[in-house]
Structure 1
Amino acid sequence: MRISILIIFLFHFQQSYGQYVSSWYNTENGLPQNSVKAIVKDKYGFIWLSTDNGIVQYDGSVFTIHNKLAVTNLHFENFYGNVLNDSIVIYNNNDENKILIRKRKVHSITKSTFTRTFTKEKFNFLKRISKNSPESKYGSNTKYYIKTSSGKYSFYNNRIIYTDEKNRQTKVPIVTTNLSNIFLNGEDTLFLADPKNRKTYRVDKGKLTTLTKATLFNDPETKIYWQQITGQTFIINNDNIYLLQGYKNDELQLKFLITYKNFGNQFFNSIFYDKDFKRLYLGSVTKGLNIVQLTQFFTAQKKIHFVDEVSSSSIPFNENTIIDPYGYEVNKHGLVKNHHFGVNDKHFMFYDDSGNILYKNDDDVVRRYKSTQYTTTHSIHFPGLKGFFKSADQFAVSTTDLTHSYLHLFEDEQLKTINTTLEFTGFVNSFLQYNNDEFLIGCSDGLYLGRLKQKIAAQVAKEINVKNIIRTSDGQIWITTNKDGFFLFRDKKLFKMPLDQNSYLNSAHYILGDTHGYYWISSNNGLFRVAKKQLLKYSENNKTPVFYYRFTKNDGLLTTEFNGGSMPDAYSLKNGEFVFPSMEGFVFFDPKDIKAYYPDKKRIYVERVRINDSDITYFSKDLILENNYKNADIFIDIPYYSNSYNLRVEAKIEGQDPDWQQIEIKNERKYTISNLIPGNYTLQLRVQVSPEGSYAYRTVKIKIKPLFYQTTAFKLAVTILFLFIFIVIIYTRTKFLQIRNRLLKKKVSNIKIALKESTQHLEAVKNDMQKESEYQKKLIEAISHDISTPVKFIAMMSQKLIDVREVDLQKEYFDSIHQSSEELYNFTMHLKEYSDLFGTYDVYEKHEYPISEILMAKQKLFNEVSKSQNSRIEIIGKGNIYCQFNKSILSCIVHNLVDNAVKNTSGGIIYIIVEDNQEKITLKIADTGKGMSQEQLTYYNGLYQMSMNEDIIKFRNYGLGLHMVIYLVKKMYADISFYKNYPGGTAVEVNIYKNKMNGKKNFNS
């Protein structure tokens, strides 16, 4: 009897959903309390929950708890009111407080302005019914009523009375023993199920109709859930959940939603179905909220112990079933039959042209014959078998010797006669016949285009690991890779496609095209849908936007991880269903039944803000922030109950951001501003509302208050103050100048005196400048003079080198040139010291040094020159003699005296003698050369007696060198004398006194 009743009833409801995804929410993940008493959706799309610890608003992402209300308790009950009129009312325990939900806000209503749902009449209590469930309790001493648009139904003493708007009463001639079985359909029609007598009563404004047919409504196993504000009635029968669709042809119409196992053990008290997002909300008395996502995705699972559900290749078997290499035949609901093919490679499976099934087992291609119902087999052995392929009428087998891979193309499906063999360095992963003569080969090291007639394969793209080559139903050819994204192959060129926002499509598996203008792409993290025209336009212009829609567990998939790399991978069945392999089984779905969800462009609200982590507040058009704010979270409230990955929200601040910035959607949908200086800003927000990429826009004016010194009034006041101060300063300055002018007249004489002094000072400056100029000339002349002899010597030796032919002489001349050049180089490295000769007043060093350093340096410098004149230089001294005289001056003196002696000595000896006694150091340079004339001796000795250095430098009858020596000797407070040397030559003696002044004056004093 029960079976026949159910068969009859199947004609009156539409089966809609099978599998579903269930998510529980409680105090550990968002709810304030685990007792969900009522559920309703407002006219703006937001879900509201009634709990024992406040009212909860849900937008699909976050539960917003309203428990800071001006009420006596937070134990809220059922919802009342009218959703379309934006008037949702809820009471707390004992109707102590009334809350109005309107315009997405919660308002407390004062007691003097609201009626109660539970009152005391003269002889009994009166309580309103707005919701019904198996958990509802009804007392015998309470009069209950249901308020409708045309009147009300009252229930008392097992009787029903209808009262219309004019207060006319109609007694309904039936007995009500269980109010848990009543519900409304529409505004005014009451239904009452009578399981005992298998009848259903219909009362329309007091008029009774008895439905005698046995249905699920009056089945003793049925439980009824009804809520007046939502207008929804649910029938629960043996864990099957049905939704009342209406009343037609004297019958109640039901829609099957899901089968929920162990429904009665969850203690559900309230149910709401959101048809826009195909979600079922189940509120439990003790366990919280269960959100069930109904889906048109079906994952076929075998559910055999110790057999995994991982799926790869398969082929269609019947109109709505498939078979895999193990022999499991499944449809979208699960296992149909096990054909016992055994354990085989899961990645390759085809039909041959005779309908026989081919699959891979180790190094064999196994053929199961259709003629024997696939019970008999024949194997073909290929050493090193890697895979085999079928594309159009071409069969191919790939093998490897671990050094190279080989693709063998056969003449027919028997796989006996090889037509062509091609060799590759990478592994062959995929194969597709491109045209009658050409074919594409996907390898681990690139993509190749082969030609059958020429028996060659040319590489089209390298450094990509090709996973699959797919020709979709529209004729387009796609290349998927293991980590390099996916490509369109057109006109023998590759066009790289854009990735999704998280780059999951970097390892896309397979692509199928439906008849509704979309491609479906499987990946390791979700199933993607994209408009065909967007990808094809992108291949022509890579500035064209592409919008992917991602399906995940939230949409009904058991896993987001699909499988790829098998042949074949995905395909469509004759009934229009697509089949994709995944880690949890084969996923079946009909593309036309899968809905992509986008926000309603009219249901996007920007009205809430949280400043500096404080409580959330509302604002209207403009958001005003104090100047000391740190950050402000502006919430984008969107009732969106699908996967937030597909919610694309972008923002930019005019004048600050040149481009739109996508907001990362996490738990809260918000845009955070910080570090904006005081001023006025315009925040623009846009939300994608269609698969084509159209947007809905929202604008928020933001004003950040300035500090007092940043206000216009303050700036104006400061400007006025500065103007006033400026005027005062000008006036004061004028008076001051007048007074000062009078004083200046008195100071004319003083100024004249000052001018005179200035003139004198300028004269002194002029003299100093002349001295400085003369000093520069002296410096240049000194340097030129001191390097002339070595340079002249090098030039002379170079000429001799040119003229001479003997090797020994050439070597000797080369050595002389080299030695002189090196010493000349060393000399020039110390030219900086010459800058101190004439300008310095300090004739002493800070530390002592041996005089022998200077003497030996000069000996080396002039040694080669003297050799060229058959002379030699000897140094005669008693040990190391140390002194603190200015090293640069002493070096210059020795240099010029030795230079003069070398020039005038040929075939003789130049002696450099240094002696030290208590008072002075005596330096003597004597030569055996031609010597000075008496006139020259008299001249130089007389020159030393001059008092002004200018006279010495200007008087140059006998050259610069000795004049400079005399000048420097006087600078050092020393004595110099010139006399004849015996038996020949000239001797020059310099006495340098250890006592600085020694009663003498130098030219600088």
Structure 2
Amino acid sequence: MTLEVFAKIFAEEEVPLQKFKATGDYVLQFWDNTNGLPQNAVYAMGKDKTGFFWIATEEGLARLDGTTIKVFDKGSYPIMLDQTYYTFFHGKSGIWASSDRSIALLEKTILKVIDCEHIVEDSWIKAISEDANGYLWIGTQDGKVHLWKNDQFNQLPNWKMEVGTETQSLFHMGNGVMLIGTNRGLFAYNYQNNTYSLLTERNVNASKVLVESGRIYIAIPDKGLFRLEEDKKLIELISFEKVKDINFNSLTKDANNNVWAGSTENGIIKINAVGTERYYFDEIKNYTVRKIIYDGENLYLGTHGRGLVIVKPARVRQANHPEILETNVKAVFQDANSNKWVGTKSNGIFRIKDGEISNINTSDGLLLNWINTIGEDAENIYTGTTAGVSVISKNTSKVIGRITEEEGLKSNYVYAVYEDSKERLWILTRYGGLHYRPKNGKLKLIQLPDQFRNTNFNTIKELSNGDILVGSMNYGAFRIVDGVFQENIVLPLKPGENVIYSIHEDLGGDLWFGTHGGIVLYSQGKFNRITKEHGLNSTSVFSITHDGKSGIWISNNFGVQYIPDSELERFKTTGKDNFQATTVTYNKSHGMPNSETNGLIFPSAFKDDEGKIWIPTVEGVGIIDPLNVDWKENSANFQWDEILFADKKMALKETEIIIPAGNSNFQLSFANIDFYNPAEFALSYKIEQLNQEWIPIKDQRTLSFNGLKPGNHTLLVRVLRNGKMDGIHRLDISIKSFFFETLWFKILVISLFIVLVYFVIRYTAKVKIASSLEQLVNQRTLELSTTNHRLKEALEEIESQNVTLKDITWQQSHLVRAPLTKALGLIHLLINYPKYKEVGKSKEELEREILKALEELDGIVRNTHSKSEKFVKDK
């Protein structure tokens, strides 16, 4: 009955857990002090409600989103009172993390810290728990229990323990009852009536308490796991004596009610009804596992010395055959009967048929164990090597022949063997060796221009129109129509890049060449190229395989890269300018045997009947199942995190933030939480008001902005999953400005400037007018001065002239008057001469006197005229 009850309570789910049994079925991801963890000893760990994974270490708390770790310590978060936290408890508000003397609430960030200094005194915190009302209970090493309620501490009433009692665990049963595990037994405390009772014998060390369906289970150090009966009896379920390497402190229960424990020596232990089951991981065999969490998909192991180890199901599987594990695999092939053929570098060729594997090598008649290429026809398999082609019968799996230079090959160095739709067998070699053999016919050599007689041909593809396209080294591609050379397509590549590894034809008839210089598109007679700067992981592209669903899978030196058809179409329309391909990479961290895949072989990848893509690597075969890729929309757990400005950190709780004035330089952090395959997501961002193009976000989870102007800005982060839109996340940013940065201030400044300009112009105009007036006045003054001088001279002249005129006038009035009067009088006397008898002179004498008076008058007139002419001349 004991085993039956245990089996019912701790029922296991075998199917999902078996994924960790075979080496090729899982991958290990390590987080330690080399990639973000502050220290390698893990004390506690757990996921909060937002989805972040928290780890407690000796040097602080760490938060993982699946891609990056963020450290919370006293240096970066002064709210913390302690550096080291030892215990986590999942409550309604988040994770309660306890140190020796404080408790922190974790939910996306550190929400608050409770100072417990005055309740521990010479003790320390040992256990924490939360009741149904959300109140926090704290057990200390001195045996006391405290209640944190309404921001106040209250000691548990009537709880009196003898000296030496330690509170080790707390568990709320409901209905106001709390289990208190101590080193002196397990107690049930009713905090509605403040009474308690001992449920076990006095000396039972109830270090851990588990409750399921009303039954109580107690883990006792160094003894085992027990079920508590109503009569205080302990029924042993698992004896730790039988599992001596168990780390008791790691004992936990997962969501599926499996009981787990870490080993002090090797791996982890799953405890079930019939005993124990171990999971070994060579990478951590020397490290103690302290904490375990299993979420139904991943195993999270907190270790002492190795940090956090996440055991994940492999996204890329491996061929589950030890014979080809860790083997340098070359050409891979699936024949018409769905058998898989795996060529190797040194072990010959393997055939996988109905799950069974067999090997054919030089001891069986192969020319060489280094297999460059694999092909077929209806009856045989052909393996090309540097010594020619070996022919293997499909029916007997025996080597039945060879094709070498003796049979007509241009060279024994064979790069590719291929059968087209007309059942012609093509064999490509060095030194211009472009051969084909019709069905039931003889080997023929394609006639090429002389300049190609030494060309090495290494890949081949039959196009949708029946043309044969052959790739070469350094001489581009060759089109063969009906067995006749048609054209040479010269690729725009440098000599070192001009190696065609693979050829792909899309549904539109455009050609994509995998080369040593990236992917070259040949469309409508024009070339374009995708390189590393456009998103490829490597300069070399060894294979291009379409999944038949939504995109191509290319192999290179850094794994396998998925590119959606939508991205290829976008490249066709936009070209390489500003093009950044949205891709997904699968490498060793996803289960690839090695991230370095093999090239210069044929085929360098193939898609099997189930749609799975086989990729050869230097350490085995990686198998990708594109059909199992999750394509759900709006599945990303994107979270805005914090903003940092002026050395202040502030959690982003809303999608709108206000930044105080004077803080145009700031950092924004965010997270895209995913622990299963973060590589599926591609992020990019833009400021809606500033950028038209999306800017790719690589591995960083912070965005820095420098000199962003005050005002309203909209930050957009776009999340693509497997190349498809998952969602766009918006953050409205309002940057406040000082008064001198506001629009009103600018209007005021502009207005004042205009007024100032007006007054300056007016002042300048006045100055100019004044200057002009001054110049005019000066000019006028000068003119007046000159005029005055002239006037003075004129006055002097006038005065002189006046004198002259006066002289003339005087002469006229005096000198002229006398002779004129005399002449007039004498004339009057002559006229009236008869009347004047007493004149005393004769008429002749009178006439002579008149003549004399007139002559005198004439002299005066002449003299006046002479003076007048002189006056005019002087003027």
State the partner residue of 1:839: none
Counterpart mapping for 1:18-37 below 5 A: 18=22, 19=24, 20-37=26-43
TM superposition shift of 1:499: 5.5
Partners of 1:292 and 1:173 lie apart in 2 by 38
Query: What aligned pairs does 1:563-602 form with structure 2 within 5 A after superposition?
Result: 563-574=598-609, 576-594=611-629
**Aligned twin of 2:706:** 674
**What is the SS of the residue equivalent to 2:725?**
coil
Query: Which residue in the other structure is 2:72 paired with?
Result: 65
The CA deviation string for residues 400-454 of structure 1, in whole angstroms up to 9 with x for no partner, is 44xxx131211237x744385556453222223346963222223222221226x
Whole-Å separation in 1 of the counterparts to 2:729 and 2:252 = 36
1:340 equivalenced with 2:361 (yes/no): yes
Instruction: Give the C-alpha shift of residue 235 in structure 1.
Output: 2.8
Check the 8 A contact 2:139/2:168 in 1, yes or no: no
CA gap 1:649/1:634 in 2 versus in 1, 3 angstroms: same
Give the percent of matched residue pairs that are identical in Structure 1 and Structure 2. 17
Is it true that 1:310 corresponds to 2:343 in the alignment? no
Q: 1:660 to 1:227 in 2, by over 3 A?
A: farther
* Counterparts of 1:337 and 1:432, CA distance in 2: 29
CA pair 166-504 structure 1, distance change in 2 beyond 3 A: same
Matches of 2:84 and 2:356, distance apart in 1 = 49
- The letter for the 2-side match of 1:442 is G
Write the distance in 2 (CA, Å) between the matches of 1:738 and 1:505: 77
Residue pair 1:47, 1:58 contacting (<8 A) in 2 also: yes
For residue 313 of structure 1, report the CA deviation from its aligned partner: 0.3
Could you say if the C-alpha distance between residues 732 and 70 of structure 1 is closer, same or farther in structure 2, counting changes exceeding 3 Å?
A: closer
**1:528 matched to which residue of 2?**
561
Alignment partner of 1:97 is 2:102:
yes
Mapped to 1, the partners of 2:608 and 2:648 lie a distance apart of 55
Report how far residue 153 of structure 1 moved: 3.7
The aligned counterpart of 1:555 is 590
In structure 2, what is the equivalent of residue 637 of structure 1? 671
Distance of 1:272 and 1:566 partners within structure 2:
44
Provide structure 1 residue ranges, at least 5 long, that are not aligned to the other structure.
Answer: 1-5, 129-138, 760-1005
CA distance in 1 between partners of 2:772 and 2:171 (Å) = 103
Mapped partners of 1:729, 1:516: distance in 2: 75
| Equivalent residue runs for 1:158-307 within 5 Å | 183=210, 190-191=216-217, 225-226=250-251, 235=260, 241=268, 259-261=280-282, 263=284, 265-273=286-294, 279-299=298-318
Report the CA distance shift for 1:647/1:751 in structure 2 as closer, same or farther (over 3 A).
farther
1:685 matched to 2:716? The reply is: yes
- Out of 86, 91, 99, which is 1:77 matched to? 86
Cα distance, 1:572 vs. partner? 3.3
Counterparts in 2 of 1:535 and 1:189: CA distance versus 1, 3 Å: farther
User: Residues 400-439 of structure 1: matches in 2 within 5 Å?
Assistant: 400-401=430-431, 405-412=432-439, 416-418=442-444, 421-422=447-448, 424-425=452-453, 426-434=455-463, 438-439=467-468
TM-score (ref. length: structure 1): 0.58
Q: Which amino acid aligns with 2:52?
A: F
User: Which amino acid is 1:100 matched to?
Assistant: L
Residues 537-568 of structure 1 show CA distances to partners (whole Å, capped at 9, x for unaligned) of: 76578699963212233333343221223222
Q: How many pairs were matched up? A: 710
Q: Distance in 2 between matches of 1:739 and 1:115?
A: 88
Distance in 2, matches of 1:721 and 1:13, equals 76
Greater relative contact order: 1 or 2 (C-alpha under 8 angstroms, separation 6 or more)?
A: 2
- 8 Å CA contact retained: 1:161, 1:170: yes
Q: Distance in 1 between matches of 2:200 and 2:338?
A: 55
8 Å contact 1:319–1:573 — kept in the other structure?
Answer: yes
Q: 1:861 matched to which residue of 2?
A: none
2:14 paired with 1:15: no
1:346, CA displacement in angstroms?
2.6
Match of 2:478 among 432, 441, 448: 448
Pairwise CA distance, 1:605? 0.4
From 358, 361, 383, give the equivalent of 1:359.
383
Q: Which amino acid aligns with 2:605?
A: A
Is the CA contact 2:373–2:601 (under 8 Å) kept in the aligned structure 1? yes
The 3-state SS of whatever aligns with 2:45 is: strand
In the superposition, relative to structure 1, how do residues 750 and 57 fare at CA in structure 2: closer, same or farther (>3 Å)? same
What's the CA shift for 1:684? 1.9
- The aligned residue for residue 811 of structure 2 is none
* The one of 384, 387, 390 aligned to 2:418: 390
CA distance in 2, matches of 1:736, 1:340: 107
Q: In the aligned structure 2, how far is the partner of 1:421 from the partner of 1:174? A: 97
Q: Does 1:609 align with 2:644?
A: yes
Letter in 2 for 1:660: E
* CA shift for structure 1 position 533: 5.3
- Counterparts of 1:844-923 in structure 2, within 5 Å, are none
Equivalent residue, structure 2, for 1:945:
none
Change (3 A) 1:208 1:371: farther
For residues 667-724 of structure 1, give each alpha carbon's deviation from its aligned partner in whole angstroms, at most 9, with x where no partner exists. Answer: x4222222445x3241422221433234313233242634x75456766776787899
Give RMSD over aligned pairs: 5.6
Q: Which moved more, 1:640-649 or 1:719-728?
A: 719-728
Shift of 1:468: 4.4
Q: CA 1:378–1:125 in 2, change beyond 3 Å: closer, same or farther? A: same
Separation of aligned partners in 1, 2:327 and 2:41? 37
TM-score by length of 2: 0.66
Q: Distance in 1 between matches of 2:591 and 2:390?
A: 36
For the 8 Å contact 1:394–1:410, the answer to whether it is kept is yes
| Contact 2:32–2:308 (Cα < 8 Å) also in 1 | yes
Kept after mapping to 2: 8 A contact 1:553/1:560: yes
Against the structure 1 CA distance between its residues 328 and 258, is the aligned structure 2 distance closer, same or farther, given a 3 Å change threshold?
farther
- How far the C-alpha of 1:75 sits from its partner, in A, is 2.6
Q: What residue in structure 2 maps to residue 837 of structure 1? A: none
Contact 1:524 1:560 in 2 (8 A): yes
Matched, 1:697 2:729: yes
- 1:527 is displaced (CA, Å) by 0.9
Q: Which runs of 5+ in 2 are unaligned?
A: 1-6, 120-134, 148-162, 791-875
Q: Distance in 1 between matches of 2:773 and 2:394?
A: 130
Whether the 8 Å contact between 2:60 and 2:83 is mirrored in structure 1 is: yes
